[in-house]
Protein backbone atom coordinates (compact mmCIF):
# COMPACT_ATOMS: atom_id res chain seq x y z
CA UNK A 1 0.00 0.00 0.00
CA UNK A 2 1.40 3.47 -0.85
CA UNK A 3 2.58 5.48 2.15
CA UNK A 4 3.08 8.99 0.74
CA UNK A 5 1.85 11.27 -2.04
CA UNK A 6 4.71 10.27 -4.36
CA UNK A 7 3.84 6.56 -4.05
CA UNK A 8 0.13 7.25 -4.50
CA UNK A 9 0.86 9.22 -7.66
CA UNK A 10 3.10 6.43 -9.02
CA UNK A 11 0.26 3.93 -8.48
CA UNK A 12 -2.13 6.33 -10.22
CA UNK A 13 0.17 6.68 -13.24
CA UNK A 14 0.46 2.88 -13.48
CA UNK A 15 -3.34 2.42 -13.32
CA UNK A 16 -2.57 -0.73 -11.34
CA UNK A 17 -5.75 -2.65 -10.47
CA UNK A 18 -4.15 -3.90 -7.25
CA UNK A 19 -4.88 -0.46 -5.80
CA UNK A 20 -8.47 -0.18 -7.01
CA UNK A 21 -10.64 0.59 -3.98
CA UNK A 22 -7.62 1.11 -1.73
CA UNK A 23 -7.42 4.85 -2.37
CA UNK A 24 -9.08 7.59 -4.42
CA UNK A 25 -7.63 10.69 -6.06
CA UNK A 26 -9.29 14.09 -5.98
CA UNK A 27 -8.33 16.39 -8.85
CA UNK A 28 -8.39 20.00 -7.66
CA UNK A 29 -8.50 21.45 -11.18
CA UNK A 30 -11.80 19.67 -11.96
CA UNK A 31 -13.35 19.05 -8.53
CA UNK A 32 -13.78 15.36 -9.42
CA UNK A 33 -12.45 12.30 -7.61
CA UNK A 34 -11.49 9.06 -9.38
CA UNK A 35 -10.41 5.48 -8.87
CA UNK A 36 -6.67 4.92 -9.48
CA UNK A 37 -7.56 2.91 -12.60
CA UNK A 38 -9.49 5.74 -14.29
CA UNK A 39 -8.85 5.87 -18.04
CA UNK A 40 -8.87 9.68 -18.29
CA UNK A 41 -5.62 11.57 -18.82
CA UNK A 42 -3.51 11.45 -15.67
CA UNK A 43 -3.64 14.81 -13.86
CA UNK A 44 -0.54 16.67 -12.75
CA UNK A 45 0.67 15.63 -9.32
CA UNK A 46 0.29 19.13 -7.85
CA UNK A 47 -3.44 18.95 -8.65
CA UNK A 48 -3.96 15.64 -6.84
CA UNK A 49 -5.23 14.92 -3.33
CA UNK A 50 -5.38 11.33 -2.09
CA UNK A 51 -8.08 9.82 0.12
CA UNK A 52 -8.58 6.43 1.80
CA UNK A 53 -12.26 6.19 0.83
CA UNK A 54 -14.86 7.65 -1.50
CA UNK A 55 -16.59 9.16 1.52
CA UNK A 56 -13.41 11.01 2.51
CA UNK A 57 -13.06 12.40 -1.02
CA UNK A 58 -16.66 13.64 -0.95
CA UNK A 59 -16.12 15.15 2.50
CA UNK A 60 -13.19 16.99 0.92
CA UNK A 61 -15.54 18.63 -1.58
CA UNK A 62 -14.97 16.37 -4.61
CA UNK A 63 -17.73 14.77 -6.70
CA UNK A 64 -17.48 11.27 -8.25
CA UNK A 65 -16.12 10.73 -11.73
CA UNK A 66 -18.82 9.72 -14.22
CA UNK A 67 -16.35 7.67 -16.23
CA UNK A 68 -14.60 5.37 -13.72
CA UNK A 69 -17.60 5.41 -11.31
CA UNK A 70 -16.10 5.11 -7.79
CA UNK A 71 -19.23 3.31 -6.58
CA UNK A 72 -18.08 0.22 -8.52
CA UNK A 73 -14.70 -0.12 -6.78
CA UNK A 74 -14.12 -3.25 -4.67
CA UNK A 75 -13.74 -2.98 -0.91
CA UNK A 76 -10.79 -3.98 1.25
CA UNK A 77 -10.80 -7.10 3.42
CA UNK A 78 -9.60 -6.46 7.00
CA UNK A 79 -6.72 -8.49 8.42
CA UNK A 80 -6.18 -6.89 11.85
CA UNK A 81 -8.38 -6.04 14.83
CA UNK A 82 -8.56 -2.26 14.37
CA UNK A 83 -9.47 -2.63 10.70
CA UNK A 84 -12.00 -5.29 11.65
CA UNK A 85 -13.93 -2.86 13.90
CA UNK A 86 -13.95 -0.17 11.22
CA UNK A 87 -14.89 -2.60 8.46
CA UNK A 88 -17.65 -4.22 10.53
CA UNK A 89 -19.06 -0.75 11.22
CA UNK A 90 -18.87 0.14 7.52
CA UNK A 91 -20.66 -3.08 6.54
CA UNK A 92 -23.47 -2.39 9.02
CA UNK A 93 -23.74 1.17 7.73
CA UNK A 94 -23.91 -0.10 4.14
CA UNK A 95 -26.74 -2.40 5.22
CA UNK A 96 -28.69 0.57 6.60
CA UNK A 97 -27.89 0.52 10.34
CA UNK A 98 -27.79 4.31 10.61
CA UNK A 99 -31.12 4.80 8.83
CA UNK A 100 -32.78 4.35 12.22
CA UNK A 101 -29.80 3.87 14.55
CA UNK A 102 -27.14 6.28 15.82
CA UNK A 103 -23.35 6.19 15.96
CA UNK A 104 -23.63 5.51 19.69
CA UNK A 105 -25.92 2.51 19.14
CA UNK A 106 -23.60 1.26 16.38
CA UNK A 107 -20.67 1.41 18.80
CA UNK A 108 -22.65 -0.46 21.46
CA UNK A 109 -23.56 -3.11 18.89
CA UNK A 110 -19.83 -3.62 18.22
CA UNK A 111 -18.95 -3.60 21.92
CA UNK A 112 -16.78 -0.47 21.87
CA UNK A 113 -17.20 3.16 22.90
CA UNK A 114 -18.55 5.81 20.57
CA UNK A 115 -15.23 7.65 20.79
CA UNK A 116 -13.20 4.56 19.91
CA UNK A 117 -15.48 3.82 16.95
CA UNK A 118 -15.05 7.32 15.58
CA UNK A 119 -11.28 7.11 16.03
CA UNK A 120 -10.77 3.77 14.26
CA UNK A 121 -13.30 4.69 11.59
CA UNK A 122 -11.59 7.98 10.78
CA UNK A 123 -8.20 6.27 10.69
CA UNK A 124 -9.47 3.70 8.19
CA UNK A 125 -11.92 5.72 6.05
CA UNK A 126 -10.89 9.33 6.63
CA UNK A 127 -14.38 10.44 7.66
CA UNK A 128 -17.02 9.94 10.34
CA UNK A 129 -19.56 7.07 10.36
CA UNK A 130 -22.34 9.57 9.59
CA UNK A 131 -20.37 11.02 6.68
CA UNK A 132 -19.68 7.55 5.37
CA UNK A 133 -23.37 6.64 5.56
CA UNK A 134 -24.36 9.77 3.63
CA UNK A 135 -21.77 9.06 0.94
CA UNK A 136 -22.83 5.40 0.60
CA UNK A 137 -26.47 6.38 0.12
CA UNK A 138 -25.51 8.86 -2.57
CA UNK A 139 -23.25 6.39 -4.37
CA UNK A 140 -25.95 3.73 -4.34
CA UNK A 141 -28.43 6.25 -5.74
CA UNK A 142 -25.92 7.20 -8.44
CA UNK A 143 -25.54 3.52 -9.33
CA UNK A 144 -29.30 3.03 -9.56
CA UNK A 145 -29.66 6.09 -11.76
CA UNK A 146 -27.01 4.66 -14.09
CA UNK A 147 -28.00 0.99 -14.08
CA UNK A 148 -31.78 0.87 -13.68
CA UNK A 149 -34.91 2.44 -15.10
CA UNK A 150 -36.37 3.17 -11.66
CA UNK A 151 -38.03 6.52 -11.12
CA UNK A 152 -36.11 9.12 -9.15
CA UNK A 153 -38.54 8.62 -6.27
CA UNK A 154 -37.90 4.86 -6.22
CA UNK A 155 -34.15 5.48 -6.41
CA UNK A 156 -34.31 7.82 -3.42
CA UNK A 157 -36.29 5.31 -1.34
CA UNK A 158 -34.11 2.33 -2.32
CA UNK A 159 -30.95 4.24 -1.39
CA UNK A 160 -32.30 5.00 2.08
CA UNK A 161 -33.47 8.60 1.73
CA UNK A 162 -36.71 9.23 3.58
CA UNK A 163 -37.40 12.38 1.58
CA UNK A 164 -37.17 12.88 -2.18
CA UNK A 165 -36.65 16.61 -1.64
CA UNK A 166 -33.73 15.92 0.70
CA UNK A 167 -32.32 13.49 -1.87
CA UNK A 168 -32.54 16.04 -4.69
CA UNK A 169 -30.98 18.76 -2.54
CA UNK A 170 -28.10 16.55 -1.42
CA UNK A 171 -27.34 15.36 -4.96
CA UNK A 172 -27.19 18.97 -6.16
CA UNK A 173 -25.07 19.99 -3.18
CA UNK A 174 -22.56 17.14 -3.47
CA UNK A 175 -22.51 16.38 -7.20
CA UNK A 176 -23.49 19.81 -8.60
CA UNK A 177 -25.98 18.03 -10.85
CA UNK A 178 -29.62 17.00 -10.58
CA UNK A 179 -30.56 13.29 -10.49
CA UNK A 180 -31.92 13.62 -14.03
CA UNK A 181 -28.62 15.08 -15.24
CA UNK A 182 -26.71 12.23 -13.59
CA UNK A 183 -28.87 9.76 -15.46
CA UNK A 184 -28.76 11.60 -18.80
CA UNK A 185 -25.78 9.80 -20.34
CA UNK A 186 -26.33 6.39 -18.78
CA UNK A 187 -30.04 5.63 -19.05
CA UNK A 188 -30.85 1.98 -18.45
CA UNK A 189 -31.57 0.04 -21.62
CA UNK A 190 -33.32 -2.93 -20.01
CA UNK A 191 -36.72 -1.84 -21.16
CA UNK A 192 -37.73 -4.74 -23.38
CA UNK A 193 -40.15 -7.34 -21.99
CA UNK A 194 -38.48 -10.16 -20.09
CA UNK A 195 -35.37 -8.13 -19.34
CA UNK A 196 -34.54 -7.42 -15.67
CA UNK A 197 -35.33 -4.00 -14.32
CA UNK A 198 -32.14 -3.95 -12.28
CA UNK A 199 -28.68 -5.07 -13.37
CA UNK A 200 -26.00 -3.82 -11.03
CA UNK A 201 -22.25 -4.32 -11.29
CA UNK A 202 -20.12 -5.33 -8.33
CA UNK A 203 -16.43 -4.82 -9.05
CA UNK A 204 -13.50 -6.99 -7.97
CA UNK A 205 -9.72 -7.09 -8.28
CA UNK A 206 -8.73 -9.60 -10.96
CA UNK A 207 -8.21 -12.44 -11.33
CA UNK A 208 -11.42 -14.14 -10.20
CA UNK A 209 -11.99 -17.82 -10.95
CA UNK A 210 -15.73 -17.71 -11.71
CA UNK A 211 -15.85 -21.33 -12.83
CA UNK A 212 -14.38 -22.48 -9.50
CA UNK A 213 -16.87 -20.38 -7.55
CA UNK A 214 -19.79 -21.79 -9.53
CA UNK A 215 -18.50 -25.33 -9.11
CA UNK A 216 -18.18 -24.88 -5.34
CA UNK A 217 -21.62 -23.31 -4.96
CA UNK A 218 -23.26 -25.65 -7.45
CA UNK A 219 -22.36 -28.91 -5.73
CA UNK A 220 -23.48 -27.41 -2.39
CA UNK A 221 -26.67 -25.78 -3.68
CA UNK A 222 -29.64 -26.30 -1.35
CA UNK A 223 -32.52 -27.75 -3.35
CA UNK A 224 -35.39 -25.33 -3.86
CA UNK A 225 -33.37 -22.42 -2.42
CA UNK A 226 -30.47 -21.90 -4.84
CA UNK A 227 -29.11 -23.29 -8.09
CA UNK A 228 -26.34 -22.90 -10.63
CA UNK A 229 -27.93 -22.71 -14.07
CA UNK A 230 -25.52 -22.50 -16.97
CA UNK A 231 -23.07 -19.76 -16.10
CA UNK A 232 -25.26 -18.09 -13.48
CA UNK A 233 -26.02 -18.45 -9.77
CA UNK A 234 -29.68 -18.03 -8.79
CA UNK A 235 -30.94 -17.73 -5.23
CA UNK A 236 -34.08 -16.99 -3.21
CA UNK A 237 -33.62 -14.30 -0.56
CA UNK A 238 -35.75 -13.35 2.42
CA UNK A 239 -35.17 -10.60 4.99
CA UNK A 240 -37.18 -9.06 7.80
CA UNK A 241 -37.25 -5.26 7.80
CA UNK A 242 -39.33 -3.26 10.28
CA UNK A 243 -41.25 -6.42 11.22
CA UNK A 244 -42.12 -6.98 7.53
CA UNK A 245 -40.82 -9.81 5.40
CA UNK A 246 -39.14 -8.80 2.15
CA UNK A 247 -38.46 -11.59 -0.33
CA UNK A 248 -37.31 -12.06 -3.88
CA UNK A 249 -34.74 -13.69 -6.11
CA UNK A 250 -31.29 -12.70 -7.29
CA UNK A 251 -29.31 -13.88 -10.31
CA UNK A 252 -25.54 -13.37 -10.57
CA UNK A 253 -23.41 -13.67 -13.70
CA UNK A 254 -19.80 -12.86 -14.54
CA UNK A 255 -18.84 -9.73 -16.47
CA UNK A 256 -15.10 -10.31 -16.94
CA UNK A 257 -14.72 -7.48 -19.46
CA UNK A 258 -15.46 -5.01 -16.67
CA UNK A 259 -13.87 -7.05 -13.84
CA UNK A 260 -17.29 -7.25 -12.22
CA UNK A 261 -20.23 -9.49 -11.46
CA UNK A 262 -23.68 -8.59 -12.77
CA UNK A 263 -26.27 -8.82 -10.00
CA UNK A 264 -29.92 -8.90 -11.05
CA UNK A 265 -32.22 -8.68 -8.00
CA UNK A 266 -36.01 -8.79 -8.09
CA UNK A 267 -37.73 -5.43 -7.82
CA UNK A 268 -39.35 -6.76 -4.63
CA UNK A 269 -35.90 -6.62 -2.98
CA UNK A 270 -35.56 -2.85 -3.44
CA UNK A 271 -36.34 -2.08 0.24
CA UNK A 272 -33.30 -4.15 1.27
CA UNK A 273 -31.09 -3.53 -1.77
CA UNK A 274 -28.02 -2.32 0.21
CA UNK A 275 -28.19 -5.51 2.27
CA UNK A 276 -28.53 -7.67 -0.85
CA UNK A 277 -25.46 -6.11 -2.46
CA UNK A 278 -23.39 -6.46 0.72
CA UNK A 279 -24.32 -10.12 1.02
CA UNK A 280 -23.42 -10.76 -2.63
CA UNK A 281 -20.02 -9.18 -2.09
CA UNK A 282 -19.48 -11.49 0.87
CA UNK A 283 -20.76 -14.63 -0.85
CA UNK A 284 -18.41 -14.19 -3.83
CA UNK A 285 -15.49 -12.70 -1.82
CA UNK A 286 -15.31 -9.63 -4.05
CA UNK A 287 -13.18 -7.57 -1.65
CA UNK A 288 -10.27 -10.01 -1.81
CA UNK A 289 -6.85 -8.92 -3.02
CA UNK A 290 -5.47 -11.87 -5.02
CA UNK A 291 -2.08 -10.26 -5.46
CA UNK A 292 -1.59 -9.94 -1.70
CA UNK A 293 -2.80 -13.51 -1.12
CA UNK A 294 -0.59 -15.02 -3.81
CA UNK A 295 2.46 -13.10 -2.59
CA UNK A 296 2.21 -14.94 0.74
CA UNK A 297 0.99 -18.33 -0.47
CA UNK A 298 3.60 -18.53 -3.23
CA UNK A 299 3.71 -21.81 -5.13
CA UNK A 300 0.57 -23.09 -3.39
CA UNK A 301 -1.54 -20.47 -5.20
CA UNK A 302 0.51 -20.10 -8.37
CA UNK A 303 -1.65 -22.34 -10.56
CA UNK A 304 -5.00 -20.83 -9.43
CA UNK A 305 -4.44 -17.20 -8.43
CA UNK A 306 -8.13 -16.33 -8.85
CA UNK A 307 -9.44 -18.81 -6.28
CA UNK A 308 -11.77 -17.06 -3.82
CA UNK A 309 -13.08 -17.80 -0.33
CA UNK A 310 -16.84 -18.34 -0.75
CA UNK A 311 -18.88 -16.75 2.02
CA UNK A 312 -22.42 -17.29 3.28
CA UNK A 313 -25.65 -15.35 2.78
CA UNK A 314 -25.99 -15.00 6.55
CA UNK A 315 -24.01 -15.93 9.62
CA UNK A 316 -26.75 -18.29 10.75
CA UNK A 317 -26.91 -20.06 7.39
CA UNK A 318 -23.13 -20.43 7.38
CA UNK A 319 -23.23 -21.95 10.87
CA UNK A 320 -26.00 -24.41 9.93
CA UNK A 321 -24.07 -25.50 6.84
CA UNK A 322 -20.93 -26.06 8.92
CA UNK A 323 -22.74 -28.27 11.44
CA UNK A 324 -24.27 -30.45 8.73
CA UNK A 325 -21.05 -30.68 6.69
CA UNK A 326 -19.14 -32.37 9.53
CA UNK A 327 -17.80 -35.84 8.73
CA UNK A 328 -19.95 -36.42 5.64
CA UNK A 329 -19.60 -36.06 1.89
CA UNK A 330 -20.71 -32.91 0.12
CA UNK A 331 -23.60 -34.81 -1.47
CA UNK A 332 -24.83 -36.11 1.89
CA UNK A 333 -24.58 -32.68 3.53
CA UNK A 334 -26.42 -31.02 0.64
CA UNK A 335 -29.17 -33.63 0.86
CA UNK A 336 -29.67 -32.89 4.57
CA UNK A 337 -29.66 -29.14 3.95
CA UNK A 338 -32.26 -29.53 1.20
CA UNK A 339 -34.50 -31.57 3.50
CA UNK A 340 -34.05 -28.96 6.22
CA UNK A 341 -35.12 -26.18 3.85
CA UNK A 342 -38.10 -28.16 2.57
CA UNK A 343 -39.30 -28.90 6.11
CA UNK A 344 -38.53 -25.66 7.96
CA UNK A 345 -38.02 -23.00 5.28
CA UNK A 346 -40.76 -20.56 4.33
CA UNK A 347 -42.35 -21.12 0.91
CA UNK A 348 -41.26 -18.76 -1.87
CA UNK A 349 -43.06 -17.87 -5.11
CA UNK A 350 -42.34 -20.48 -7.78
CA UNK A 351 -39.81 -19.39 -10.39
CA UNK A 352 -38.53 -20.50 -13.78
CA UNK A 353 -35.38 -21.69 -12.00
CA UNK A 354 -37.45 -24.21 -10.02
CA UNK A 355 -36.82 -22.48 -6.69
CA UNK A 356 -39.69 -22.51 -4.21
CA UNK A 357 -38.20 -22.29 -0.71
CA UNK A 358 -36.20 -19.95 1.54
CA UNK A 359 -33.38 -21.12 3.78
CA UNK A 360 -34.79 -21.72 7.29
CA UNK A 361 -34.69 -18.77 9.68
CA UNK A 362 -33.23 -19.15 13.16
CA UNK A 363 -36.68 -18.59 14.67
CA UNK A 364 -38.14 -21.52 12.70
CA UNK A 365 -35.47 -23.97 13.86
CA UNK A 366 -35.69 -22.64 17.42
CA UNK A 367 -39.38 -23.59 17.46
CA UNK A 368 -38.70 -27.08 16.12
CA UNK A 369 -38.33 -30.08 18.40
CA UNK A 370 -35.38 -32.46 18.25
CA UNK A 371 -37.76 -35.19 17.10
CA UNK A 372 -38.92 -33.01 14.18
CA UNK A 373 -35.34 -32.29 13.15
CA UNK A 374 -34.30 -35.94 13.51
CA UNK A 375 -37.31 -37.04 11.44
CA UNK A 376 -35.66 -35.73 8.25
CA UNK A 377 -32.55 -37.84 8.82
CA UNK A 378 -30.32 -35.46 10.78
CA UNK A 379 -28.46 -37.24 13.63
CA UNK A 380 -29.86 -36.23 17.01
CA UNK A 381 -26.52 -34.84 18.25
CA UNK A 382 -26.38 -32.47 15.29
CA UNK A 383 -30.05 -31.71 15.76
CA UNK A 384 -29.26 -30.54 19.29
CA UNK A 385 -26.40 -28.39 17.95
CA UNK A 386 -28.66 -26.85 15.29
CA UNK A 387 -31.43 -26.08 17.77
CA UNK A 388 -28.95 -24.60 20.26
CA UNK A 389 -27.51 -22.41 17.50
CA UNK A 390 -30.99 -21.33 16.45
CA UNK A 391 -32.12 -20.50 19.99
CA UNK A 392 -29.04 -18.41 20.77
CA UNK A 393 -29.13 -16.67 17.40
CA UNK A 394 -32.86 -15.91 17.59
CA UNK A 395 -32.58 -14.45 21.10
CA UNK A 396 -29.44 -12.44 20.34
CA UNK A 397 -27.31 -14.39 22.82
CA UNK A 398 -24.98 -15.44 19.99
CA UNK A 399 -23.82 -12.88 17.41
CA UNK A 400 -23.29 -14.42 13.99
CA UNK A 401 -23.14 -11.22 11.90
CA UNK A 402 -20.44 -8.53 11.85
CA UNK A 403 -18.30 -10.52 14.30
CA UNK A 404 -15.25 -8.47 15.22
CA UNK A 405 -13.53 -10.51 17.96
CA UNK A 406 -13.12 -13.72 15.99
CA UNK A 407 -11.27 -15.62 18.73
CA UNK A 408 -14.03 -14.80 21.22
CA UNK A 409 -16.66 -15.80 18.66
CA UNK A 410 -14.96 -19.15 18.07
CA UNK A 411 -14.78 -19.76 21.83
CA UNK A 412 -18.52 -19.04 22.14
CA UNK A 413 -19.31 -21.48 19.35
CA UNK A 414 -17.21 -24.24 20.91
CA UNK A 415 -19.29 -24.02 24.09
CA UNK A 416 -22.26 -25.35 22.10
CA UNK A 417 -22.47 -29.17 22.36
CA UNK A 418 -21.66 -30.71 18.99
CA UNK A 419 -19.47 -27.84 17.79
CA UNK A 420 -15.75 -28.44 18.03
CA UNK A 421 -12.64 -26.68 16.68
CA UNK A 422 -13.16 -27.73 13.03
CA UNK A 423 -16.78 -26.59 12.88
CA UNK A 424 -16.14 -23.35 14.77
CA UNK A 425 -13.19 -22.53 12.53
CA UNK A 426 -15.18 -23.36 9.40
CA UNK A 427 -17.95 -20.99 10.57
CA UNK A 428 -15.40 -18.21 11.10
CA UNK A 429 -13.96 -18.79 7.64
CA UNK A 430 -17.22 -19.08 5.69
CA UNK A 431 -19.88 -17.22 7.71
CA UNK A 432 -17.62 -14.40 8.93
CA UNK A 433 -15.23 -14.34 5.95
CA UNK A 434 -12.22 -14.37 8.27
CA UNK A 435 -9.13 -14.86 6.06
CA UNK A 436 -6.76 -16.36 8.63
CA UNK A 437 -8.31 -19.67 9.74
CA UNK A 438 -6.55 -23.01 9.33
CA UNK A 439 -8.18 -26.35 10.14
CA UNK A 440 -5.24 -28.53 11.09
CA UNK A 441 -7.45 -31.57 11.91
CA UNK A 442 -9.16 -31.49 8.51
CA UNK A 443 -9.11 -34.79 6.63
CA UNK A 444 -7.64 -33.38 3.42
CA UNK A 445 -5.01 -31.42 5.36
CA UNK A 446 -3.99 -34.54 7.30
CA UNK A 447 -3.66 -36.41 4.00
CA UNK A 448 -1.45 -33.65 2.61
CA UNK A 449 0.85 -33.78 5.65
CA UNK A 450 0.69 -37.44 6.75
CA UNK A 451 3.89 -37.34 8.82
CA UNK A 452 2.94 -34.26 10.87
CA UNK A 453 0.77 -33.98 13.98
CA UNK A 454 -2.04 -31.38 14.02
CA UNK A 455 0.23 -29.15 16.13
CA UNK A 456 3.07 -29.46 13.65
CA UNK A 457 0.68 -28.81 10.78
CA UNK A 458 -0.55 -25.67 12.57
CA UNK A 459 3.05 -24.48 12.96
CA UNK A 460 3.77 -25.20 9.30
CA UNK A 461 0.69 -23.23 8.22
CA UNK A 462 1.79 -20.06 10.03
CA UNK A 463 3.92 -19.22 6.99
CA UNK A 464 0.64 -18.51 5.15
CA UNK A 465 -0.71 -16.02 7.69
CA UNK A 466 -2.72 -13.75 7.38
CA UNK A 467 -4.24 -15.71 4.46
CA UNK A 468 -4.44 -19.22 5.92
CA UNK A 469 -8.11 -19.60 4.95
CA UNK A 470 -7.10 -19.17 1.31
CA UNK A 471 -4.28 -21.67 1.79
CA UNK A 472 -6.83 -24.17 3.05
CA UNK A 473 -9.05 -23.62 0.01
CA UNK A 474 -6.07 -24.13 -2.29
CA UNK A 475 -5.27 -27.41 -0.52
CA UNK A 476 -8.89 -28.51 -0.94
CA UNK A 477 -8.85 -27.47 -4.61
CA UNK A 478 -5.67 -29.46 -5.22
CA UNK A 479 -7.21 -32.50 -3.56
CA UNK A 480 -10.44 -32.13 -5.53
CA UNK A 481 -8.48 -32.08 -8.79
CA UNK A 482 -6.80 -35.36 -7.90
CA UNK A 483 -9.65 -37.33 -6.29
CA UNK A 484 -13.39 -37.98 -6.62
CA UNK A 485 -15.52 -35.18 -5.18
CA UNK A 486 -17.02 -37.31 -2.40
CA UNK A 487 -13.60 -38.10 -0.96
CA UNK A 488 -12.06 -34.70 -1.61
CA UNK A 489 -14.48 -32.48 0.30
CA UNK A 490 -13.44 -30.93 3.65
CA UNK A 491 -14.20 -33.31 6.51
CA UNK A 492 -13.05 -33.72 10.08
CA UNK A 493 -11.70 -37.19 10.84
CA UNK A 494 -12.17 -37.06 14.60
CA UNK A 495 -15.62 -36.85 16.13
CA UNK A 496 -16.15 -33.41 17.58
CA UNK A 497 -17.48 -33.03 21.10
CA distance 406 to 412: 10
Please say if 442 is a catalytic residue: yes
Tell me whether strands 260-265 and 244-255 are parallel, antiparallel or unpaired: antiparallel
149: burial class by Cβ within 10 Å (0-12, 13-18, 19+)?
middle
CA distance 427 to 434: 9
> How many CA atoms, within 13 angstroms, populate the side-chain half-sphere of residue 369?
3
Packing angle of the helix pair 273-283, 81-94 (nearest 10 deg): 140
207: burial class by Cβ within 10 Å (0-12, 13-18, 19+)?
middle
Active-site hit among 285, 292, 436, 442: 442
Reduce the secondary structure of the chain to three states and give it as a string.
Answer: CCCCHHHHHHHHHHCCHHHECCEEEEECCCCEEECCCCCCCCCCHHHEEEECCHHHHHHCCCEECCCCCHHHCCCCCCCCHHHHHHHHHHHHHHCCHHHHCCHHHHHHHHCCCHHHHHHHHHHHHCCCHHHHHHHHHHHHHHHHHHHECCCHHHHHHHCCCCCHHHHHHHHHHHHCCCHHHHHCCCCCCCCCCCCCCECEEEECCCCCCHHHHHHHHHHCCCCCCEEEECCEEEEEEEEEECCEEEEEEEEEEEEHHHCEEEEEECHHHHHHHHHHHHHHHHHCCCCCCHHHHHHHHCHHHHCCCCCCCCCCCCHHHHHHHHHHCCCCCHHHHHHHHHHHHHHHCCECCCCCCCCCECCCCHHHHHHCCHHHHHCCCCCHHHHHHHHHHHHHHHHCCCCCCCCCCHHHHHHHHHCCCCCCHHHHHHHHHHCCCCCCCCCCCCHHHHHHCCCCCHHHHHHHHHHHCCCHHHHHHHHHHHHHHHCCHHHHCCCCCCCCC
Please say if 219 is a catalytic residue: no
Active-site hit among 34, 65, 68, 251: 34
Q: Which residues pair with 23 in a beta bridge?
A: 20
**What residues are annotated to the active site?**
34, 442
Amino acid sequence: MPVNAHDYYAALCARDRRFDGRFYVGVRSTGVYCRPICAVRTPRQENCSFFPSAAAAEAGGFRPCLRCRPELAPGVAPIDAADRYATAAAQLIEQGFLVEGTCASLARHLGITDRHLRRVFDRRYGTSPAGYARSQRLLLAKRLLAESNLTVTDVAMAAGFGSVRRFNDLVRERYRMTPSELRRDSRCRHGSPGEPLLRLRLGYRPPLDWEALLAWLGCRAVGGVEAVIGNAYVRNLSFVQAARRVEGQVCVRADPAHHALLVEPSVTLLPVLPLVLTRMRRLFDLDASPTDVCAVLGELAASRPGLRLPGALSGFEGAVRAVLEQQVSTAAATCLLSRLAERFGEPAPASDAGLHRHFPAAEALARASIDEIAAIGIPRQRGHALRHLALESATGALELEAVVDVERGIAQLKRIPGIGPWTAGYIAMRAWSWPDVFLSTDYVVRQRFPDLSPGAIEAHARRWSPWRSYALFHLWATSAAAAPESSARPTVPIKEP
